[in-house]
Structure 1
Amino acid sequence: MVDMTNKRLSVAPMIDWTTTDYRYFARLFNPHVYLYTEMISTGALIHGNRARHLRFDALEHPLVLQLGGADMTEMTQCAEFAQQHGYDEVNINVGCPSDRVQHNKIGACLMAEPNTVADLVKHMQAAVDIPVTVKHRIGIDDFDSYEFMADFVQKVAAGGCTRFIVHARTAWLQGLSPKQNREIPPLRYEDVYRLKQDFPALDIEINGGIETVADIEAHLEHIDGVMIGRAFYHNPYLLAEANSLWGTPVPKRSDILAQLYPYLEEQIAKGEALPTMTRHYLGLFQGLVGARKWRQALSGKPHLTIDDIKYAATEVLALNPDA
């Protein structure tokens, strides 16, 4: 069994998915994991509805705000917003391959500018007391050698970053969609392991293609942390099973629902739409008898009620008494 004292398990930032409603739900499964916001651009925080973008429930801690941007002043200002609102860390997105963000110098394209990222870390860290971390790829386009990534990490670490979350695929900035960039470039876990060996003083986390608790344990033998995105989202009970890493109890789905209902009632009272929240909960019974019926009960229902959810859950739990 892996000693988790200095290890970390995280839920990856995912646009449109890791909202506060999902994060609250995820926290009910596991008290140990680090949760990330969606990537939020500096423009959205500075010129948009900042309070709504940054809202979270106290239960969500430890919680990391992921920022997209490259302007020194704006990124520093948004790091200050994060600290003021009570976030535990700030993360700089240097991994998103979307062509929608490249023209704003957000995401993976910044791997070509390690000195820019180092300066961002340096100035942001000087302005706040919370850690500033970086999430990046192993390379971009034809710049996909281990040496390219190691040079990037070395220069950014010189700016003061001590934690790097590495998606173990190259980002192809031309010709592939973000979805294809999560699937087509081959995974190179050994490059991330080597990075830890070459930079033992840094905290190195790995991301990409990890789907089971056994996978998590295997990676933690080599590096400091594991980050999982879609596997946790589509099968949230994997978060519950991961409690075994810490030797803590695995909650039942029925217990999670009992804690979720008061949250939903509270959010409805604040004017939030129930269907918007419940879209994140479709995977609760993934792999069990009745999972499809549960998804159908929650999907496409503009007038969905909490009683509807309770009825659907009761039906599935009756088929799975140990759930």
Structure 2
Amino acid sequence: MQKYQAHRFAIAPMMDWTDRHCRVLHRTLSSRALLYTEMLTTGAVLHGDRERLLAYDPVEHPVALQLGGSEPAELAAAARIGEAEGYDEINLNVGCPSDRVQSGRFGACLMREPELVAECMAAMGAAVKVPVTVKCRIGVDDQDPEESLFTLVDLCAEAGVTSFVVHARKAWLKGLSPKENRDVPPLDYPLVWRLKAERPDLTIVINGGIGSLDEAEDHLRHVDGVMLGRAAYHTPDLLGQADARIFGEDRRVSPFEAVEAFRPYVAGQLARGTHLAAMTRHMLGLFHGVPGARAWRRILTVDGVKAGAGLEVIDRALAAVSERASGLQEQRLAGGLETGEAA
């Protein structure tokens, strides 16, 4: 199994959010971020509609497929399919706390079965040449996080895994909803930093509650990579600064530039019969904090769902933002002239 050279910046797999349309939008903002699919169960990959579930646009590379499962042979078979489809990485979900996931014996409940996780990873690693990685929590329920995290990582490392994404909080499988599990259990970043310090040969990527590039840069002093989730989705403009700030490239992308770059993809999907709202729903946060953002969201939300909605809806929403920005600029200039005249 080859050593995985981690990307320093990744966007988390998020159910119902990081679909192919979302990923293409995010790619217009950052050429370097590692993108992840939503979690797909082995059953879906092996027996479902692969075209619908696994298809992606080539522009998405580098892109990873996240699997959910706990049966080594099935995971190996699903990993082979993912590799054949061209995914750059196959990741095992050992962090999702939902009841549906637990009933299937995968996700965060596997933190209680580190030997099984290691067996699964060994099977996946033997089946493919692309990197196989683990995304986990620091523990579940009454586990001692230091013991549960280090045990899982060490057993998987013995099985050949070299890269881990660690959501730096426990999952409470009883008593908290999946939504609450994203916020209520306290974060323990120092534990993940210590994992990297004590396992320097492993690639450690930190995840959980990271809301800005400033925070990401702070974490990169301690670990190899940073994964953002909700912050990247709700305020995608920050992704437009990631290539410059995280990777040192001379590339910054404005929300206006991202919309322009996304237009050909939207046009192509509309021609294939995709509803506009399936794509514009991921664009709502693009102008977060910018004058006109409310009008942008309103037009996309109200008009984007109408039958036959097309690129003209995006153009109208963009015009509302531009008009608002131009109006404020005129006000500033007018204010400046008045001040000058008074002087």
Please state which band the TM-score falls in when normalised by the shorter chain: over 0.9
Q: Which moved more, 1:150-159 or 1:176-185?
A: 150-159
* Cα displacement (A) at 1:293: 1.0
In structure 1, what is the Cα distance between the partners aligned to 2:226 and 2:6?
Answer: 12
- Among all aligned residue pairs of Structure 1 and Structure 2, give the percentage whose two residues are the same amino acid: 47
Match for 1:294 among 278, 293, 296? 296
Q: What is the CA RMSD across the aligned residues, in angstroms?
A: 1.4
- Contact preservation (8 Å) 1:268, 1:274: yes
Residue identity matched to 1:317: S
Runs of 4+ in 1 over 4 A off after TM superposition: none
Tell me, in whole angstroms, the C-alpha distance in 1 between the residues paired with 2:276 and 2:7. Answer: 36
Q: AA paired with 1:148?
A: S
Unaligned runs of 5+ in 1: none
Q: Following the alignment from structure 1 to structure 2, what is the Cα–Cα distance between the partners of residues 6 and 177?
A: 31
1:306 paired to 2:306 = no
Deviations 1:19-61 (A, max 9, x none): 0000000000010100000001111111211111101111100
Contact 1:65/1:90 (8 A) holds in 2: yes
Q: Aligned-pair distance for 1:212?
A: 1.1
Whether the aligned pair in 2 keeps the contact of 1:254 and 1:317 (CA below 8 Å) is no
Q: Match of 1:105, as an amino acid?
A: R
**Cα offset, 1:6, TM superposition:** 6.6
Partners of 2:27 and 2:311 in 1: CA distance: 20
Partner secondary structure for residue 37 of structure 2: strand
Structure 1 residue 7: Cα displacement: 5.2
How far the C-alpha of 1:144 sits from its partner, in A, is: 3.1
Deviations 1:114-157 (Å, cap 9, x if unpaired)?
11111111111111100000000011000033122111111111
Can you give the 5+ residue segments of structure 2 that lack an aligned partner in the other structure? Answer: 329-343
Once residues 49 and 40 of structure 1 are traced to their aligned partners in structure 2, the CA distance between those partners, rounded to angstroms, is 12
Q: Is the 8 A contact 1:124 1:132 kept in 2?
A: yes
Q: CA deviation at 1:318?
A: 2.9
Task: Classify the secondary structure of the residue corresponding to 2:10.
Answer: strand
Q: Could you list the per-position Cα deviations for residues 164-211 of structure 1 after superposition, in whole angstroms to 9, with x for gaps in the alignment? A: 100000000001011100000000000000100111110001001111
Larger Rg: 2
Q: TM-score, normalised by structure 1?
A: 0.96
Correspondence for 2:258: 256
AA partner of residue 236 (structure 2): P
Superposition pairs of residues 80-159 of structure 1, within 5 angstroms: 80-159=80-159
Which letter does structure 2 place at the counterpart of 1:120?
Answer: C
Under a length normalisation based on structure 2, what TM-score does the superposition of the two structures give?
0.90
- Contact in 1 for aligned 2:9/2:33 (Cα 8 Å): yes
**More strand, by proportion:** 1
Instruction: Report if the CA contact (8 A) 2:165-2:205 is conserved.
Output: yes
Report the CA distance shift for 1:117/1:213 in structure 2 as closer, same or farther (over 3 A): same
